[in-house]
Amino acid sequence: MRVVILDSTDAVSRFAADQVADVMHRSRNSGKSPVLGLATGGTPLGLYNELIQRYRDGSLSFADVRSFNLDEYVGLPPEHDQSYHYYMKESLFQHIDIRMENTAVPQTWQCDLSISALEYESKIKNAGGIDLQILGIGTDGHIGFNEVGSSLASRTRLKTLTRQTRSDNARYFTSIDDVPIAAITMGIATILEARAILLLATGANKAKAVAGCVEGAISSGLPASALQLHPNVTIVVDRAAASLLHHAEYYEDSERVRVKLQSPQ
């Protein structure tokens, strides 16, 4: 795992936008349209603003990009202002040149949920898989909505949300009772099939989950720890989210060495 510790949330967003731009560039260079895996929540908003700025200043186009979101609540229509369909349109899609028909968020409204989950998996496969998956992390260590106890072999499916997740997300709703009780989420195995993974975390409330993800034992008790099994993962965090990492000094040394080895001799 590459662990990058930065001084501010803005620096995390800029670093993430550079990674997205780089992956898009590489896909196009190999004659492929880029396929991005996207997340919602508070954490990636700075990244999305940065991508919007780069589109506006002409340095980045999304005209050929396909995207797949990690998850969607069950029980909210797509036009509900807390649905992830709505979030993506408001926070990113309507501000860039991506074609809406090339974007996908799991369908959960008035449909058969198990068929919808299976179809989502096929859609990802038919697009040739995901080049870069963006992830946030829950305070309980979830990725997507793969809550504690999620099988490391799980695929896209219906998942019940934990009380912790519902209470963390209650800030976006009038009351915790309005927070959906379930979601369709890509599974852990689905996420691990992405060719590269970029997990963003900011704030002290994520420090414990980040430490478990990077330095804990691989366990369904902390689903993000499964990322240790993937050969191309970057964890980018601010200092508060890095505060419980035992080996922070080593990760910072590694970044300095990386810069040194990459600069012309």
Residue 159 CB neighbour total at 10 angstroms: 23
By beta-carbon proximity to ligand F6R, the closer residue of 71 and 131 is 71
Q: How far is the CB of 206 from ligand F6R (least distance, A)?
A: 7
Is 106 one of the binding residues for ligand F6R (CB under 6 A)?
A: no
Which of these segments, 34-42, 97-105, 209-217, 253-261, binds ligand F6R (CB under 6 A)?
A: 34-42
The residue within the footprint of ligand F6R, chosen from 136, 141, 180, 212 (CB under 6 A), is 136
The interface mask with ligand F6R, positions 65-84, x = CB under 6 A, is -----xx-------------
3-state secondary structure the chain: CEEEEECCHHHHHHHHHHHHHHHHHHHHHCCCCCEEEECCCCCCHHHHHHHHHHHHCCCCCCCCCEEEECEEECCCCCCCCCCHHHHHHHHCHHHCCCCHHHEECCCCCCCCHHHHHHHHHHHHHHCCCCCEEEECCCCCCCECCECCCCCCCCCCEEEECCHHHHHHHHHHCCCHHHCCCEEEECCHHHHHCCCEEEEEECCHHHHHHHHHHHHCCCCCCCHHHHHHHCCCEEEEEECCCCCCCCCHHHHHHHHHHHHHHHCCC
142 belongs to the catalytic site: yes
Q: Which is nearer to ligand F6R, 131 or 168 (CB)?
A: 168
Judged by CB under 6 A, which of 41, 46, 106, 180 binds ligand F6R? 41
Among 42, 78, 129, 221, binds ligand F6R (CB under 6 A): 42
Catalytic residue among 147, 168, 193, 238: 147
| Window contacting ligand F6R (CB under 6 A); options: 35-43, 56-64, 124-132, 208-216 | 35-43
Q: Is 22 one of the catalytic residues?
A: no
CB of 59 to ligand F6R, least distance (A): 26
Interface residues with ligand F6R (CB under 6 A) are: 39-43, 70-71, 136-138, 142-145
Q: Which residues are catalytic?
A: 71, 140, 142, 147
